[in-house]
């Protein structure tokens, strides 16, 4: 499955990132931290404020409404 995705992205000229992780809390938390920082940098490069996304707030409000 991963190889097919990688091949499709490659043919389309799209960036693709693949990781192989040992299944341990340390490795998973390390991976998540790296991805969070990566998203912040990408948002900065795209001139997007990742901390001010009104649509995300609408989603969270709807979830809160449904959970109560």
pLDDT tens for each residue of 12-25: 998 888 777 778 88
Q: What share of the chain is helix, strand, coil (3-state, %, to 5)?
A: 70, 0, 30
How many residues are listed for the chain in this entry?
Answer: 68
- Six-digit token string for 16: 């693709």
Cα–Cα distance, 45 to 68 (Å, whole number):
38
With a threshold of 0.85, does the pTM exceed it? no
Cα–Cα distance, 50 to 36 (Å, whole number):
11
> Can you give the pLDDT of all 68 residues of the chain as single tens digits?
678 888 888 899 988 887 777 788 888 898 899 999 999 999 999 998 888 877 888 888 889 989 98
């Amino acid at each position: 499955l991963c190889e097919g995705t990688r091949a499709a992205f490659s043919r389309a000229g799209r960036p693709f990132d693949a990781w192989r992780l040992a299944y341990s809390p340390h490795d998973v938390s390390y991976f998540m931290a790296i991805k969070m920082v990566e998203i912040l940098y990408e948002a900065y490069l795209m001139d997007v404020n990742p901390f001010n996304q009104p649509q995300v707030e609408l989603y969270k409000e709807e979830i809160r409404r449904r959970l109560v």
